[in-house]
Structure 1
Amino acid sequence: MSLTSELADPASVLSRWCARVFTGTPAVAAHVEAAVQDVRPVRPVHKQVPRRHWAELGGAFGQRIADLVQPAPPYYSLLGLVTAQWATGAWAHRQAAEYRTHRGLPAEFRARALGVRPAATTWLDLGEQLGGAVAGPVPGAAEVWAELFGRARAYQERHAPPGTLGTPGVEAGLARTNWVLSACEDVYRSGAIDPRLARAVDGGGMSVDALRGLATADQVTELAELAKRLHDRGALWELRRLGGNPPEGEQLGIAGPTIVPGWADGDVLLGAVDPARGIGDGTATLLDVKTVVGLRDPGNVGRWLWQLLLYAWLDVGDLYRIRDVGLLLARHGTVVTWSVDQLAEDLLGSPDVIEFRRDELRELVGGILASAGLAFPES
């Protein structure tokens, strides 16, 4: 189980707690819908698309935003390769250590790079619970995967470094790789391998081109259009502002912040990356990336809002300096944000009970984590 799956289950203890205490949810959800009511969203090329299309586009574009924010390893994509037995843990750690965020780490941390994650002004060490190093040679698939990851790093660095978008052709190229990375992440999260990915790897003739050819032309077009929408609607500049307006090519924050190891990961954190280096002001904005077309379901939007607030409340050690939270509505090119206290007040209907409900929530989640053998990270 994870925070996301707990909130998706209306019968879970956590979901029922949120429904009971967050009485202002419908009004805040209506605010989100109103923010894009005059915007025509980016839609699929064809009216009828397979159900899996939405998840595939969401995962691939989530990876694109992660890369826009920080040149960090696609942690769970690499772990997916280990899960599928296409690579060893040691190989995955070596790949992670090649990303710009991890290259300067001491050798002992590079050797287990997947378990070492950047926080606001320090590093979060997850130990070997994620992707332990396994000795021995890697079967043939690893060479192709190494080429894919190596080419992706170089291409990103040259044509679309952090804080920037590429030309339509560049974004199309990134879309093909991000589709594959998202499919690999799904292996880790679900334990199931997409048959198309399995055939490309195990069916003979595996190559980087075959992997990057798994995304359909329509999906590539749509993903490139989503990137263009960020530019055309000004969302890119808003992301840069929230990230402290660093020089072009420098990271805007943290991709995939680990709020509770093994249970809750955010999408992107903007700002709060060591203000001593001139980046950010010491506080940060946590954004979740959403690629849905419609926002009329208050139950669906409400769960997003609960999750955002819970992320902030569950950062018990203030590792990420989260002071604001928000949604990047990708198909609308719109960013909607709140201060953590304002969102809490709006959802609860009163500022007087915020601390009580926050402490109650932490106690409730602490019990859920303990039953799963997990715990809040230390401050």
Structure 2
Amino acid sequence: MIGETVFEALEAELRRVRPAGRRLEQGDEDRLARSCFVLARFEELYRSEDCVRWAAPWSAMREKGVVRAWLELASPDVVDDLRQLSWLCFERQADWLGKRVALNPTFAGSAHVGGADADLVLDGYLIDIKTAVRPNEAVPIALYQLLRYTLLDYDDRYGIEAVGIYFATQGQLVRWPLERLMGALARGEPRPLVDLRREVEGIAVDLAPPRSSTIWRY
């Protein structure tokens, strides 16, 4: 399988580089940037379910081999952008290093809405990552998205105490304590989170979409 071949190569690269907890030299950073671009292409296929507009590098795979063909899909400009985003995050969010993290977390209620996975939970902070030119315009939609994920965590698996948006282009993290945010939206004293989750679970179970649905999968 093409996917397995690519993923095995990417895992081998991670074992070689061992990137956790440090800023990489440019050569290693650029190779991982290419790998991230390839992973993004596969995720795009999974989420869009649109094979027509999603083209694999068939001819290049015959000429150069599967892994090299995929890695070369990332243009120099793309690699440069990804490297800058990575280094900026390392510089601005160094306090993230060493903290407990769950990547691409799913929730107890994810299946009830056709699949919902967030970006990451970092020590009780549910964080959404955005590359927005105008951050202010992205905030309202992102906040409601984060609250939906929080409500789908029926069993409080992640102990979410706050939500935040990391604007990767600007290197800025904006956070809201969950209780304060819910109070502001409720315009007063918010209902207990456990009650809201129980109510959402009851509604979601009744309205659960077919397995093929991709609602909330963004």
| Correspondence for 2:127 | 287
The 1:167/1:347 distance shift into structure 2, 3 A limit, reads farther
Alpha-carbon distance in structure 2 between the residues aligned to 1:194 and 1:175: 26
Alpha-carbon distance in structure 2 between the residues aligned to 1:333 and 1:346: 26
| Correspondence for 2:40 | 182
> Normalising to structure 2: TM-score of the pair?
0.81
Q: Residues 9 and 67 of structure 2 are in contact (CA less than 8 Å); yes or no, is this contact kept in structure 1?
A: no
The 1:315/1:201 distance shift into structure 2, 3 A limit, reads farther
Q: 2:204 aligns with which of 365, 369, 373?
A: 365
RMSD in angstroms over aligned alpha carbons? 2.7
Q: Residues 60 and 69 of structure 2 are in contact (CA less than 8 Å); yes or no, is this contact kept in structure 1?
A: no
Q: Residues 128 and 146 of structure 2 are in contact (CA less than 8 Å); yes or no, is this contact kept in structure 1?
A: yes
TM-superposed deviation, 1:264: 1.0
Deviations 1:80-113, CA, capped at 9 Å, x for gaps: xxxxxxx3xxxxxxxxxxxxxxxxxxxxxxxxxx
Matches within 5 A, 1:1-379: 87=1, 141=2, 145-146=4-5, 148-193=6-51, 197-200=55-58, 204-205=62-63, 206-232=65-91, 234-235=92-93, 237-240=94-97, 243=99, 252-259=100-107, 260-261=110-111, 262-271=114-123, 284-297=124-137, 300-353=138-191, 355=193, 359-369=198-208, 371-372=209-210
> Normalising to structure 1: TM-score of the pair?
0.49
Alpha-carbon distance in structure 2 between the residues aligned to 1:211 and 1:194: 18
| Correspondence for 2:216 | none
Which secondary structure does the structure 1 equivalent of 2:143 belong to? Answer: helix
Q: Between Structure 1 and Structure 2, how many residues are aligned? A: 206
Deviations 1:47-102, CA, capped at 9 Å, x for gaps: xxxxxxxxxxxxxxxxxxxxxxxxxxxxxxxxxxxxxxxx3xxxxxxxxxxxxxxx
Deviations 1:147-205, CA, capped at 9 Å, x for gaps: x3233223223324333332222221111111111111111211223757423378733
Percent of residue pairs identical? 28
Deviations 1:215-266, CA, capped at 9 Å, x for gaps: 111111011011111133x21x23226x2xxxxxxxx411111111342111
Q: Which has the higher contact order (CA 8 A, sep 6+)?
A: 1
Alpha-carbon distance in structure 1 between the residues aligned to 2:210 and 2:54: 33
Q: Residues 126 and 163 of structure 2 are in contact (CA less than 8 Å); yes or no, is this contact kept in structure 1?
A: yes
Alpha-carbon distance in structure 2 between the residues aligned to 1:365 and 1:223: 37
